[in-house]
Chain A
Amino acid sequence: MNERTILLADDDQLLASLLNFRLEKAGYIVDHVLDGKEVKEYLSHTMPAIIVSDIMMPYFSGIELINYVRKELLSQTPIIIISSTGNEENVLSAIELGANDFISKPVSPSELLVRIAREVNKIHI
């Protein structure tokens, strides 16, 4: 596991490329996947330092992702959920199930950077 690797799961190309750009600039290694199936495939061979995932994804929702990581892979890797308006209830259940943080759309990359840094620092403490 590389402690700078971030798995970014989001099917919105625009947001993903902006986040990708900013995160790589900040020294992270970003692996970007488009949907839940790809997330699962990725996690089957690699565990990143942090997972940033959209709450709504094709095939495999953010909620299912949290369950998968926490209950099946038994990993405590920090998970940050990207939520959109109208999904407030899901965010609550995401946190209950073990998501570490969430950020609402429209996502500010700067804000996300801060939140990621916070999670990374927590690991090192």
Chain B
Amino acid sequence: MSKLKTKDLICQLSDLETSLNGFSFEELSTLEAKTLKNSFNRFKTQLNDQIFGTDKINEKDFFTNEIISVPTPSQDNKLIAHVSHEIRTPLNGIIGFTNLLREENLTEGQFKKVEAIQSASYNLMEIIKEVLEYSKLTAGIEDFDSVDFNLHRLLKDVMFLCQTLIVDKSVTLNIDISPDVPNILIGDPSKLSQILLNLLGNAIKFVEKGQISLSVVVTEQKKGTHMLQFSVKDTGIGISKEQLGHIFESYKQAEKDTFQKYGGSGLGLSIVKEIIEKQGGSIAVTSILGAGTTFKFLIPFRKGNIQNISKNKPKSISTQKGKELLGGTKILVFEDNELNQHLISEQLTKWNCITHVTANPKEGLSLLNTEEIDIVLMDLKMPKMSGFEISKSIRSLQDTTLNQVPIIAFSADFTAQDQEYCYESGINDFLLKPYTLNELMIKLLKRKKERNLTQASLRLLKQETIISIKQKKETVELSSLLQECDDEIEMLEELVRLFKQNIYEFIGAVKIAISNKNFEEIYHASHKIKAGLALMNTNDLKRLIVGMEDGAKNTELAKIELLFAQFLVQYPLKEAQIDKELKKLKKR
């Protein structure tokens, strides 16, 4: 069963991989996207080795269905421990990076693709949870959710994900939902997606050219329970009669060479059957060799209530993440409209921000002084003194900590003139009313980050205790490294390319590790990057990294954050210097 689960996991991983491959990185061309892809591929290989070992014999056992090794319980536990650890860390990375990607300026198409990656990652996370709850499963306690969910939305998501799985194939996907199928149902949505993804995923694998269709109808209705029939029909290679009889058995695929041709585990269907039957349903298959296959399954669902959905809908990760990052931020809001005062303070409190709202400029300025405010939100239409004027007076304060506080203005109408005023009066950013919560959060996060950075630098400049980062402008010198490359400039270019890539990976890894307080990861990431920094003669950066390594050893998060922030400021400058130096050497 544990192998069953891990095999399922591999299936999901393949899905995720396909989804990643379908993602057009040219469009995006951010290094984060590339890094994401690389790290994923590395992780997948590693994971495969972890689970199957590198020896092929084991793998053969697994797929040729002749010998099924039954793992002993202790082996199982070891496997689970391995799997959970090996997957969760890098998966966090994938999720983290997609979150970062989401915050970039993406086109609608790109955003959809990022969402597909996220959606696949979450599916994967779900499976991992299942692996971890393995003991529960073996004890026969299978948990099925019973929550209200939107079936149409779920089907749309599933279809979208499947669409991304179709690569270089002339396959069309159709969906047909009978009008009497209720929109809101009560049941286990994640299990239903799992079933559909499995069946549709199989179909996509086996259809080279043609059609795959999903249809949903109500076959029976009594006492508020709807028996839904889902049909997944394809025009693929089909399955022969004798093989059809074994199709729901574990480890069976139509032919031994099917695996070589189509990949996959031959495990999905047995799980699908199990999940359907445990929900009081059934599944059947009909197929004509060479013409196609149809899977039909029935599951009873009760009709749900739309009102319950928002309650059990999980908060979107970006909100969750944003909340973590924003927590504890001290925000001062200048707003005179009482309703708006309520609204904003409620929202900010929800995000665990410490909020002060005032309509009085004088009171506001004194709060700024006493409450160590991180960010100011400014309504421009204030009665006594306009938002522009208040902002100006903040900027003209003596104290450097106070006069540099980020100011975000909001207003119902912005003219070009207003925008100009904004910059003149020192306002950093603005939001047009009505703004979405997401917009507000993104702006706040962005400013919070900058604020942290300036705060950190200020502290450093004042104390200089932690580490002496004298900005004495160490220049980059690569000619000795070029010598080590036997004066071959192409090699040096390759090294620079690798160096940059390593740094981006490092930045991504540390960002995530810091938010998870994963000191071990920070230590490893820092340690790993050191040699490269030394090689590139960027010793000032290396000092920061050595400091981070130290900080990780002693679990000093504040120190790490400080140094990392410095690194983020200094690295782009350094990269520009490296590029310049490389250009110079190339001309020679």
Contacts and interface: CB of A to CB of B under 8 A. Distances in A.
Interface of A: 11-15, 17-18, 21-22, 25, 41, 56, 84, 105-110
B527 A56 contact: yes
A15 B486 contact: no
A107 B502 CA distance: 18
B535 A18 contact: yes
A12 B536 CA distance: 13
A14 B532 CA distance: 6
Contacts of B176: none
A109 B485 CA distance: 9
Contacts of A105: 530-531, 534
B502 A17 contact: no
Contacts of A11: 528
A107 B488 CA distance: 18
Contact of A12 (B484, B494, B532): B532
Given A13-B498, A18-B491, A110 B484 contact: yes
A17 B494 contact: yes
A106 B535 contact: yes
B319 interface: no
B484 A14 contact: no
Contacts of B531: 12, 14-15, 84, 105-107
Given A14-B502, A18-B491, A109 B527 contact: no
A18 B532 CA distance: 11
A108 B491 CA distance: 15
A56 B484 CA distance: 24
Contacts of B486: 21-22, 25
A18 B54 contact: no
B534 A106 contact: yes
Nearest to B55: A41
A41 B499 CA distance: 28
B440 interface: no
B231 to A, nearest CB: 47
Contacts of B502: 13-14
Secondary structure class of chain A's binding surface, majority of residues: helix
Interface residues of B, number: 19
Given A21-B491, A105-B531, A105-B534, A14 B499 contact: yes
A73 to B, nearest CB: 19
A15 B531 CA distance: 7
B527 A41 contact: no
Contacts of B532: 12-15
B460 interface: no
Contact of B495 (A14, A25, A41, A84): A14
Dominant secondary structure of chain B at its interface with chain A: helix
A36 to B, nearest CB: 13
Contacts, number: 48
Contacts of B528: 11-12
B385 to A, nearest CB: 56
Nearest to B539: A106
B512 to A, nearest CB: 18
Contacts of B530: 84, 105
B485 A14 contact: no
Closest 8 CB pairs of A and B: A106-B534, A14-B532, A12-B531, A109-B484, A15-B531, A14-B498, A21-B491, A105-B531
B323 to A, nearest CB: 34
Contacts of A15: 531-532, 535
Contact of A41 (B54, B484, B494, B535): B54
Given A11-B528, A106-B535, A22 B484 contact: yes
A18 B527 contact: no
- The CB with the most chain B CB atoms within 10 A, among A11, A12, A25, is that of A12
B495 A108 contact: no
Nearest to A105: B531
Nearest to A108: B484
Interface in B517-536: 527-528, 530-532, 534-536
Contacts of B498: 13-14, 17
Contacts of A22: 484-486
A118 B446 CA distance: 56
A115 to B, nearest CB: 15
A14 B534 CA distance: 11
Given A18-B495, A21-B485, A105-B534, 11 more contacts: A13-B498, A14-B498, A17-B494, A18-B484, A18-B491, A18-B535, A21-B486, A41-B54, A107-B531, A108-B484, A110-B484
Contacts of B536: 14
Contacts of B491: 18, 21
Nearest to B527: A56
B463 to A, nearest CB: 26
B318 to A, nearest CB: 31
B535 A14 contact: yes
A23 B123 CA distance: 45
Contacts of B499: 14
A84 to B, nearest CB: 7
